[in-house]
Amino acid sequence: MALLKLIILSIAYACTFGLPQNPPKPRTTIFGDEMLEGEIFENLSESSEITTLNEEASVYRLPKTTKPFRYDIIWTIDFNNLSFNGFVMIVLYATEPDVDEIVIHAADLYITSVELRKDLNSIPVSYDVDNILQIIRIKLDSGTLEYDENDETNRINYELIIRFEAELRTDMSGLYRSWFKDENYTEEVSYIATTQFQPTSARKAFPCYDEPGFKAMFTISVQRPTAYKSWSCTRRNATFSNGIIEYEDDIYNYTPFMSTYLIAIIVAKYDNLMVINSDGKLIYEVIARPAAIEGNQGEYAFEVGQLLLAEMSAHTAIDYYTVSEFFKMTHAAIPDFEAGAMENWGLLTYRESYLLYDKDHTSSFHKQSIAYMLSHEIAHMWFGNLVTCEWWDVLWLNEGFARYYEYFLTDWVEDYMGFATRFIPEQLHTALLADSVLSAHPLTNTGVGSPASIGNMFSTITHAKGASVIRMTEHLLGFQVHEEGLRRYLNARRFDVALPEHLFQALQEVADEYGVIADYGDDFSVSDYYKSWTEQSGHPVLSVQINHQTGDMIIFQHRFDINAGYAITPNTWIIPITFSTASNPDFTNTKPSHIISNSMNYINRGSVGDEWVIFNRQQTGFYRVNYDDYTWNLILNALKTNITLIHENNRAQIVNDLFQFARSGIMSYSRALNLLSFLETETAYAPWVTALTAFNWLINRLASTPETLAKLHSLITVWGKTVMDELTYYPDEDESFMRSYFRYQVVPTMCVVDAPGCRDAAVSQFKQLVESNGSYEVPVDSRTWVYCNGLRYGTESDFNFLWYRFRTHHVYTEKSLILNVLGCTPHQSSLYTLLDAIVEDNYLIRQQDYTTAFNSAVTGNEGNTKIVLNYIQNNLAKVEAGFKSLAIPLSYISSRLRTEEEVNEFQLWATENREALGSSYNSVMNGANSALDSIKWALEVQDDILDYIDSIVPVESTTPPPVQTTTEGPDSAITTVISEVLVAAVVLINLLR
């Protein structure tokens, strides 16, 4: 019977894919520029480390033979010596008999003493520090810890007391130092002591059980200079003089049970905006350097953050302020902050550009970044803090929900920002791409152990795919049921850790009670559905064959592979299906009508005749869709006839899928571009932003084929004319956020392709800024492309003007924006000024911004690559000292090599300087080889791309190109025959089950 099923399925498969299509040839489509820091495939080379169970992972885990109950911590901050010392008392207990050692974490701390006590009596111990595993083993000299075997609830407590000291770190982890210059950044440096503990850096600030599963209460004290203030997770209980000259002690109220990575302190000369409740207690505040508070830069976060906190409290039915009687919420702006933002319970920390807003100097991009960063961190108060992932291998339980609420919590409060629409190109499409390689890690990922593998879990997949799968589940169950399920999950696991099964069970219970999954059959399980998306990597592409005479639709699912089209792995997912048709063009009902789980599936459309079909309404599902060629033509005809019949999100889906099908080889570029020709009349946000991402990827590839690149530029110019006529290069008075943000996204690419009017608009506005010496300000949402093109076509004095503005400006978002565009200058002396400021010790460019600034210098113009390479070659030691590795700056160079001759020269230089490059040599050579792959790929596809571009009407014509009739696939009649065979096969297989 099994053999018969296999034969039938094989015949059906052959009928579908053997006539007359050829499978795509595997080819590398991921190149160096996509593997740089912050890019989509940043950790691709390391991803295989954590995709399978690592037998050594357990050596990094603490034994559960002891557990903490409470910590008392005192930190003393010494700004004169830029150091700290501390004392920690951990109240702990044994969890089983015969325990003779206590194992906890510590890293880069000088341990001055260790003592173990019980009932005030000292117990002789010895200890050993393992710097590789970052642990301390405290061994009892004799005997074992007491444990009541007859009563496991009878906890016998011990006190472990450790004294320690260290320098304030400079790498933005653990307890580290930052700085600011107040009053327009021109005064003397003022230091800050602040923390970043997630995921494994609490151990760098105090010895502790530094795993999320070891929750405990914390009482924190900070000894600080009297000229400074301090903050921690809870409200301050008392401040008193400790006898140390010019020092005071701040004592903080105890916390609820929480993980070590959520602890935080700040010591700084900061001011605040605050809310005091009717009892006279602080409940909410924004803190920052004094000039920022005086300049009202904290007002937006102050106001919107309170709205978001109230909305999230209502959504979860757990009021934030009831979680602990000592809780308040502090949002802190930190000048040096690598993580972007962090959800420390009660003391949330952010880069300045993600918290501080100035209406005159902060763009719409940064304003919405502040809104969704606030949403993300506030959501963590429940998803991550109140209920915490049991281990980092299920981090999506924290980060997936926080990323989801970034968009949808913000959309409830700030709906004019269009977060629900923007989720599609910004998160869903990004997640699909990151998840399209065979080495992508699953959301639930066994084998995570070392700090490096834990760090790799903070990925696009964990955040964006996690959020996308959660969004898909909400549409599957319905908002009300999903919300109630999450409330049940949070209440059941509050102050505890969670596994995915806890979430699945809560959702299943509520779904059964409301009957929302009854139509999917008795065998449908929320747990099985969720596991298919979380326990295996990748995602499906649905191949849809439609018999338009009968309405029969045959759907195959395969794992999508960006390098080969279809993966050969036999993965299947439990997929919620929605679809709309020309006769039923409803895109509002996103409740799935069908669930499919087999490799081959059959659904009847419910209508007959030639009409378009669009699967995945509003792209609520996490999958791609490829139709038979006849159906694709029907879709294109519909888009050219009345584009608004198909939902904006689905038009964005079509754009994204077609570009990725062409990239992976499933579809030719000429065919994909023909189907994308509806963009010439498209004016909506999501489809165009999606298209721009794909076009920019192609522009980077085709830079090695100048003639083809020029024709691609012309195509983008033609297709972009309608949308640019709508947006223009100048903002309207009182225009909406989304219109302004749309222009912000589109215009930089239009300037790259030299669309008419773009360069002139930029240069004229920049000239006004310079000639007025700043009294005329460029519209804030236009500054990125105006500044860049002003420098690109300007003089060295133009660079000097912006360089001075960067060094003296009092709004960090403006400083950050300028830093991103300074590299647009083509002048060597100006670029050298910028590069010197990056790699030399100074108080100009922050470590967190090194790669941003360096990338700007390399990519600002094609000619910059050679200038920057010459700088590196002449300053190897200085560049290595600045970046701590030559591999990082040279990777930016190698990703911009455009010809084989350039690559060969680069590799020859690397080989001649192999000793100087040291451990970076292999990485440098690999980057050069990736550049060769990119050049080869461009040569392979350029004829395919030109087949379409050369066939359409000349650039000066405005007549839309005709819909091309493809010869690549079956026509309607052949599709009918195929579908009938497939329907028969599916029916027969189902009968044989």
DSSP lists the bridge partners of residue 554 as: 545, 602
The answer to whether the beta carbons of residues 135 and 171 sit under 8 Å apart is no
Tokens standing for residue 900: 């084989």
The answer to whether the beta carbons of residues 688 and 698 sit under 8 Å apart is no
Tokens 């719409």 belong to residue: 364
Q: Cα(577)–Cα(529) distance, rounded to whole angstroms?
A: 13
Residue 1: exposed, middle, or buried by beta-carbon count in 10 A (0-12, 13-18, 19+)? exposed
The answer to whether the beta carbons of residues 495 and 215 sit under 8 Å apart is yes
Tokens standing for residue 476: 């599957």
The answer to whether the beta carbons of residues 622 and 469 sit under 8 Å apart is yes
**CB within 8 Å of 372: residues ≥ 6 apart:** 406, 407, 410, 419
Label each residue of 250-282 as H, E or C.
EEECCCCCECHHHCCCEEECCEEEEEECCCCCE
**CB within 8 Å of 673: residues ≥ 6 apart:** 662, 715, 945, 948, 949
Single out the catalytic residue among 343, 377, 426, 611: 377
Return the DSSP state at 898. Answer: -
Amino acid at 129: V
700-707: long-range pairs with CB below 8 Å, 24+: 700/33, 701/31, 701/934, 701/937, 701/938, 701/941, 702/938, 702/942, 702/945, 703/862, 703/898, 704/898, 704/899, 704/934, 704/935, 704/938, 704/939, 705/938, 705/939, 705/942
Peptide bond into 576 cis (omega under 30): no
CA–CA distances in Å: residue 239 to residues 90, 148, 193, 561, 776: 23, 40, 18, 60, 49
Phi, psi of 961 (to 5 degrees): -65, 150
Q: Which of 846, 743, 834 lies closest to 796, judged by CA?
A: 834
66 SS3 class: strand
- 377 counts as catalytic: yes
Q: Cα(886)–Cα(917) distance, rounded to whole angstroms?
A: 7
The answer to whether the beta carbons of residues 182 and 291 sit under 8 Å apart is yes
78 SS3 class: strand
CA 756 to chain centre: 34
Tokens standing for residue 143: 């005997």
DSSP β-ladder status, 66-78 and 217-225: parallel
DSSP lists the bridge partners of residue 193 as: 177, 267
The answer to whether the beta carbons of residues 907 and 928 sit under 8 Å apart is yes
Question: In the chain, how long is the greatest CA-to-CA distance?
Answer: 92
DSSP output for 577-596: E-EEESSS---S--S-SEEE
Q: Which of 694, 778, 774, 701 lies closest to 744, judged by CA?
A: 778
The answer to whether the beta carbons of residues 850 and 894 sit under 8 Å apart is no
DSSP lists the bridge partners of residue 94 as: 66
Using N-to-C axis directions, what is the helix angle for 850-859 and 887-894, rounded to 10°?
30
Which active-site residues does the annotation give? 377
